[in-house]
């Protein structure tokens, strides 16, 4: 089949692609075509231990009727981008069970049919199909995700989490870390003309200030990105401790978009030729004291109060992890009542689940069981972000009670 020529001039590109994500999707189609034809080697299967995702992926794949569509699910971020666009448009007050899965499976199968038709313009026709299907749902509904809580620190988004793979570096499974994420730089530049490059807004200094002022109990700053696998990661002091080889996330494909929102044509053409990218998605960390030494503003250095988790918080964290593990492992066999009983089995969590906010979370769990969906990320539900945010805040608050300690930061 003829290869679509990707013109580098903005004027020419605008005739074919509505945005850079569509242009990137066109390259992903070319990549899947090469996999389907056996022209490049199928990537090594990611052993990420995400049992829930693996089961979902198998169930979704079983309803796909062609290899091209199955590879598109497995080796690109198309499914997640489609879900993102669907959620922006769907009226969450009028939901139906499995609505997105049915919508997505039909599109995946239609994409396969267009590909196997032999039409030389199959890529353009697939893009038109996707645009039309999204337009049939309706325009984006503003404000549906406004309840999603984010910590914005310059160019970075941050959230508090645990990382169970840092034990050999002195960070335990119940210690809390700050996970930082660089949102698409080109999008941020469009929204704020003060942003010139990745160094703008002193983002890492803002992270350091936030640690001292709000999160003195964290033990490390962590990140997950192709940047960790690059010279940037080493320059900023991140130590790589793990890697993620799956191609289903923007963290991998983001390496092919530059800071101005243009495709890095030379790099992506090389990837299409060899099947190997220059970078993989890697996980890196900096211990909190080292991070503050490097990035805390000079006028704040000296004696700094950090903190260690109390025994109560450590015990709560261990118990919540135990409950979460049991629910994840037994989700298919447990009834909704049994899952809710487990959620209420912790002395601190029981009162929360008897509150109005907690009852809403329980109602969502019941709806997930009824719909046969186990992963909240893939479940369309009214006020889901608000419910998840309040639940997350409750967990974080109870995992983050601490005792202060002084540290000299030079």
Q: What is the DSSP string of 184-213?
A: -HHHHHHH-TT--STTGGGHHHHHHHHHHH
CA-CA distance, 169 to 177, in Å (whole number)? 13
Token representation of residue 340: 């809710």
CA-CA distance, 300 to 292, in Å (whole number)? 10
CA-CA distance, 187 to 184, in Å (whole number)? 5
Query: By the 8 A CB rule, do 153 and 206 touch?
Result: yes
Q: What is the mean pLDDT of the chain?
A: 85
CA-CA distance, 216 to 400, in Å (whole number)? 10
Query: By the 8 A CB rule, do 162 and 175 touch?
Result: yes
pTM of the model: 0.72
CA-CA distance, 406 to 305, in Å (whole number)? 5
Q: What percentage of residues in the chain have a pLDDT greater than 90?
A: 53
Segment 228-279, tens digit of pLDDT:
999 988 899 999 999 888 898 778 999 999 888 899 999 999 999 999 999 9
Map tokens 């509904």 to a residue.
141
Segment 74-120, tens digit of pLDDT:
899 999 899 888 988 887 655 555 578 888 999 999 999 999 999 99
Asked if the model's pLDDT at residue 194 lies above 90, the reply is: no
Residue 257, SS3 per DSSP: strand
């Amino acid at each position: 089949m003829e290869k679509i020529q990707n013109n580098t001039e903005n004027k020419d590109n605008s005739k074919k692609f509505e945005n850079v994500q569509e242009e990137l999707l066109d390259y992903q189609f070319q990549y899947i075509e090469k996999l389907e034809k056996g022209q490049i080697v199928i990537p090594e299967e990611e052993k990420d231990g995400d049992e829930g995702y693996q089961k979902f992926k198998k169930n979704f794949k079983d309803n796909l009727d062609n290899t091209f569509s199955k590879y598109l699910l497995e080796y690109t971020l198309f499914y997640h981008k489609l879900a993102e666009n669907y959620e922006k448009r769907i009226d969450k007050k009028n939901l139906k069970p499995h609505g997105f899965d049915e919508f997505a499976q039909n599109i995946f199968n239609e994409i396969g049919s267009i590909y196997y038709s032999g039409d030389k313009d199959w890529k353009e026709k697939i893009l038109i199909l996707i645009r039309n299907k999204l337009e049939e749902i309706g325009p984006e509904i503003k404000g549906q995700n406004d309840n999603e809580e984010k910590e914005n620190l310059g160019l970075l988004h941050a959230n508090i989490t645990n990382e169970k793979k840092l034990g050999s570096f002195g960070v335990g499974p119940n210690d809390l870390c700050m996970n930082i994420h660089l949102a698409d730089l080109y999008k941020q530049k469009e929204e704020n003309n003060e942003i010139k490059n990745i160094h703008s807004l002193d983002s890492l200094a803002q992270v350091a200030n936030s640690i001292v002022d709000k999160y003195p109990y964290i033990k490390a700053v962590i990140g997950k990105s192709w940047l960790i696998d690059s010279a940037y990661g080493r320059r900023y002091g991140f130590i790589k401790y793990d890697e993620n080889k799956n191609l289903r996330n923007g963290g991998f494909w983001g390496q092919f978009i530059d800071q101005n929102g243009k495709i890095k044509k030379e790099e992506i053409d090389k990837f299409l030729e060899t099947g190997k990218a220059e970078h993989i998605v890697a996980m890196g960390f900096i211990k909190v004291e080292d991070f503050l030494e490097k990035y805390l503003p000079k006028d704040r250095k000296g004696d700094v109060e950090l903190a260690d988790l109390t025994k109560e918080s450590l015990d709560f964290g261990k118990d919540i992890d135990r409950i979460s593990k049991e629910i994840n492992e037994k989700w298919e066999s447990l009834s909704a009542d049994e899952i809710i009983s487990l959620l209420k089995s912790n002395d601190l969590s029981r009162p929360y689940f008897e509150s109005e906010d907690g009852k809403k979370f329980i109602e969502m769990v019941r709806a997930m069981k009824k719909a046969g969906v186990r992963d909240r990320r893939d479940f369309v539900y009214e006020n889901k972000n608000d419910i998840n945010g309040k639940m997350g805040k409750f967990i974080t608050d109870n995992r983050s009670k601490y005792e202060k300690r002084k540290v000299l930061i030079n």
